[in-house]
Chain A
């Protein structure tokens, strides 16, 4: 995998605090900036929000413990997201009821008829049936103000890959909506926004 393109970050103040040995202040500043992003990354990876909350807590505790050893080789955001992703993957591995869902299986699920009352719920349901890597990219993209670079940093992917996955995810969704006779109803889609 190519290295992820690091987004422009303004973490110089945190770096300065770390160099001065002010770890507590640096962590407080880090929390202000990354707490929500870490939680959202966990939500996108874990699917379950209760578990995402636990894993986000674990990740932040781990970040606090590892902060004195942060050497600045990777950007702070990349380092934080790497720790969070690792915690999520560990939690997913631990989850007994977690069964890795094959892409083909998901495609089949996407074909299953759904009749939710809420159009947003329908769309969310369709997103949930996307193959995992599409779902993660798409979810994070909309969670993080549609920033491709941020998603690339969070998932440690090149921006080009994120764009490709986004394109394919949207295409898959459009196909699903077409099958339901909804995609052409632009007014319907527009009304849901």
Chain B
């Protein structure tokens, strides 16, 4: 059996690493790292886009709130201005319309209200094109 053992040891020589084995391995590892970096870059881009999306939404929300406040302010201001104008013009109105002054004021108010409603409906339907008509 010792002879067989020796013969086997001679026949089954351990294979040496093929030429270029390490170079191929290094290339494969480099490619893996490149791929990982690529994945990292894509992930970073996705995070940046998400952040941008959130910022844009926050801006839109802030703009909407500003618009609502401005509209409310305009309405309140307009109401006060109208009240003040009526108070100032009351003597003249009474001289012109006499006892029909409240009726004339109500009519004028209704007319102004209808004009404003019509204008807002027109802006809503026509959008920016309709706004241009009011410029």
Contact = CB atoms under 8 A, between A and B. Distances in A.
Contact of A189 (B4, B12, B15, B22): B4
Main secondary structure of the interface of B (DSSP, over half): helix
B96 interface: no
Interface stretch (A14-22, A58-66, A73-81): A58-66
Nearest to B32: A61
- Taking each of A43, A49, A53, which has the highest tally of chain B beta carbons within 10 Å of its own beta carbon? A53
Contacts of B15: 39-40, 43, 49, 143
A124 to B, nearest CB: 5
B133 interface: no
Interface string B4-35: 11111111111111100110110011001000
Interface size range of chain A in the complex = 35 or more
Contact of B11 (A39, A43, A60, A127): A127
Contact of A170 (B5, B22, B25): B5
Main secondary structure of the interface of A (DSSP, over half): helix
A3 B26 CA distance: 34
Contact of B18 (A53, A123, A177, A192): A53
Contact of B8 (A64, A127, A186): A127
A30 to B, nearest CB: 12
A172 to B, nearest CB: 11
A60 B29 CA distance: 9
Given A65-B32, A143-B14, A35 B22 contact: yes
Interface of B: 1, 3-18, 21-22, 24-25, 28-29, 32
